Structure 1
Amino acid sequence: MESSAEAHRRYICSFAGCSAAYNKQWKLDAHLCKHTGVKPHRCERDGCGKSFCTPYHLARHELSHSGVKPYRCTVDGCAEAFSSSTSRTRHMGRFHSQEQKKYVCQFDGCGMEFKKNKQRKSHMCEQHTHVPPYQCTYEGCQMRFTFPSKLKRHEKVHKGYPCKEEGCAFTGKTWTEYLKHRKEQHKTLVRCDKCSKVFRDSWFLQQHQYVHSDVRVVIKCPRDGCQRSFTKASNLQCHINAFHEGLRPFTCTHPGCGKTFAIKKSLQRHGVLHNPGSKKQKKPKPKRSLASRLSGYSETKRAICKKGKKPESAEKTDPPGSVELVSLLQDTTLLCSPAVDTLGLNNALTAPLTV
């Protein structure tokens, strides 16, 4: 009686909106990891730190440290061993397939063999009966399919993909059409709360927010005597290949050139020299001096004034007479001071100029 009651016992997930139920407690515990994200079974090996939902998965993981392979191939003459029964089954299916069960076509005079039962069913529908068993249930549609999965995919043609945004009545005929509509009509943008820059998804925002962090994690070059550091491992690898290993795998294929480069981007920039019309080059943005940036006086205004033509905006705002810009780098207090009083600087900039 106890075994019968144990067989019908159900362990139900307590999270709202989840209808999962299991006949074993450990199965429910493993399922709860999906909701909580907590994996209680942690590997105790030094330097590992991986965690798992069940003791079984932890025990299977520990085999990777010990090197023990308890699952041996059962075919005579084969000495292969594996750390899991799944790997052993896969091995036997690939290398000892003649020992596996075959599914034979029962049609008179055929006798073809298949590794999977669904392959046999598909063969019988296409070659013998010519009538796939799964028919579309929508009125007026006579399409039939060999497998339920193909029927379910076909029914999306009738149902479509309705937009889930409130107040939007769009229904895409295909998944691609639905995604295109979402991208064009309901494009979601995320904004940085510190500088108000806008990004198309949270990943780009997360990468950008490293700019605002007080402490930035960098990766130092491990070579002796090299003090270079990088924020990305890929940049460090490019640095090691180019400057320490001397690897330059990207070669220009233009006749008579043959220059080599460490990264593909450098080769692409070099290619513009041989074919200038292939890529439209952006004009370099003119750099402004430190005095110009702090005072708000643009370089274009100064260039116009030198030619004797004063812009209309300058006639209204600039005081009469000539303005002499003195480089602030001459003031050594600015160079040595650890911080700048931005409030005082703003007050000084807003005060009228004296000539």
Structure 2
Amino acid sequence: MPPGTQIASDSDMETVLEEFKQRQERRNSGGSAKYTCSVPKCKATFKRLDQLDRHEYHHTGLKKHACSYEGCDKTYSIVTHLKRHLRSTHERPEAAAKKTVKCSLDECSKMFISVSNMTRHMRETHESPRVYPCSHCSAKFSQKLKLKRHEIREHTQEYPFSCAKCSRGFYQEWQCQSHEGSCKQYECPGCPQKFDKWSLYTKHCRDTLHGRNRHRCERCDCAYDKPSDLKRHIEVKHKEAAAEEESTSFTCTEEGCGKSYSYLRNLRQHMLTSHSGRRFECQAVDCGRCFSSAQNLSKHLLRDHKDGKKKKEKEKKQAVKERLNSNPRKRRRDAGRSKHSRLSKLACLQLDKDDEEAVRERQPMALEKVTQSLKEDPIEELLAQTLVDEDEVEQE
């Protein structure tokens, strides 16, 4: 029906509805899809460029549309947002770019550049704000991306991207790629377990053996790095059994000797010293004491025969000194000779090694060189001349 025609019957109404449906179909079709996602393994297609930009941003998380004006570092994920920035910030006059329109709601203090921006703000924020409810709980979000992350993190645990080494999940592909470059796996050499943290790996190695020489408990499967830790474990976990072992005594089997000991090593020491004739006698004059071990004998010598020890050490030092004197070191040719000449000492000069040697040997060229360096100071020059004169007298 032509525009402006009044609807007078049911047939006219059917005609209007049919034309409306045709217009909607043409609007929704819009031709075939023009844009395809550039991310590998994703074959999504879109009719509009901004839809493609929004879809690829969910893949990569990168804002690929940057402002071309110098000094402006703004970037956007959608090309239409970049165009709006160029119009409002760079292409419009400076006065028009200022925010002069206030939100019509008194409680809201936001300012906008144009009335259309303020109207969109009213519609999306105050009148009918977008709310995305969670399908698993009662939580609600103002952004669809936040809802998606909440559902993955709290409910499904199905991340769209995961690391091939440690199976850690990520929301976006660029996060996964950045993580894979620094991801490290620590494999245990004694078992197939893997750890993504060094602290967990070292704790696992401490708690297990895997070839390490550790101290194991004879009553259970516990193992410890230090004997003191094992002893503490026995005192706490196996206190009664340890008390029974301590109460067990080892008795000497020799006739007429009824001594008993708590430890077998003490009994063996007793057998060596008391019944095998193995004694440690002091060799000092007028002493004659005997001891059960070499350790006790050494303690006795330090405590009771200090003078004898000092005398022995003195004799040892004397022997070393005599040996050195019998084969003395060859004396150096320049032994006792000063490293600096008399001239350099009196004139407070710092000369090279070769110059010092030449001055010490009274070479004319060297003395003339030193004299030239001292001409600036009359006192030093007089001193140098005096030394030269003395040298001439000595030569005569």
TM-score normalised by L of structure 2: 0.25
TM-score (norm 1): 0.27
Structure with a larger share of its residues in helix: 2
Structure ID, larger Rg: 2
